Amino acid sequence: MRSGAATIPAGAKDPMSDDFSFDRFVQKSKVGAFGRDEGARYAYSADILMLRSFSRMKPVEYAAAALVRTSKEFLRGQLLGQGVKVGPKQFTRLHSIAEHCASVLHVPTPQLYVVNSPVVNAYTFGTDAESFIVLHSALVDHMSDKELEFVIGHETGHIQNKHVVYGTALQVLTRSAEAVIGIFVEPALVALRTWYRRAEITCDRAGLLCSQDLDAGVSSFMKLAIGSARLFAEMDVETYLEQLEENRGSDGRYLEAFSSHPYLPKRITALRVFAES
């Protein structure tokens, strides 16, 4: 069931970057992944290219930032009322993991909230100046500490790579589309979903760099896929990955274009390639 590669070296090399050094990255990565200082050298090249294109479209960038600033305060107030804030005196294990991931990726420790939800999920919300990570209670229940390192490291990667504003705009616009104005926001959603699928590959790498455990990354994906602790114990990773090849010949594979996340078998495969590079 396990992938057979328990740990990776801290200097794992990205095939997209010939001069990658993780030590060098840590020293120089105080900002994002696309030209503002050196940035995250592990980032997926397609993610960087799309972020650069967004940053050149200033009206889009300003509109997204304005939308997010307003929405952020509403969600933060909701989380303070309905969620539980993580800190040094509350859920100290989660807080310690967040501190570890922030240290590895050289960003300030993000604020975590836990919300009551049966869905195994986590997400990052906010602005470049103030970001917070939301963990669903089911995710915390399902994941080991190493898996939580991977998941929280993944979400911290969104912060380190300056994904948060556009990622939050995608969440807000998706909710708007589900309400009443879908036809008007759909062009923006298509572009943002295309980028976000690439951003997820970047942040899977961030999660791996934080956890230093490929098995934990793979098993966290499988738990996301099945959502059942009982059935997870019976899953076989190689059999599960056969679905990726089977789907290549299916017309249904095109539905991924309407998703904000790559299909999970594809993410596992991409993570293995990065770990072995």
**pLDDT given at position 16:** 42
**pLDDT given at position 253:** 75
- Chain segment 137-161, per-residue pLDDT in tens: 999 999 999 999 999 999 999 999 9
- Chain segment 160-196, per-residue pLDDT in tens: 998 988 888 888 777 765 555 556 667 778 888 999 9
Phi and psi at 117, nearest 5°, equal -155, 140
**pLDDT given at position 63:** 65
Q: How far is CA 193 from CA 24, 197, 233, in A?
A: 31, 6, 32
**pLDDT given at position 274:** 95
**pLDDT given at position 273:** 95
Residue among 38, 73, 130, 155 flagged as catalytic: 155
pTM exceeds cut of 0.85: no
**pLDDT given at position 264:** 95
Q: Which residues of the chain have pLDDT under 50?
A: 1-39
Active site residue 155: yes
Provide the pairing of β-strand 111-115 with 122-126: unpaired
Contacts of 263 (CB under 8 A, 6+ apart): 244, 247, 256
**CA 216 to CA 5: how far, in whole Å?**
10
**pLDDT given at position 51:** 86
**pLDDT given at position 57:** 67
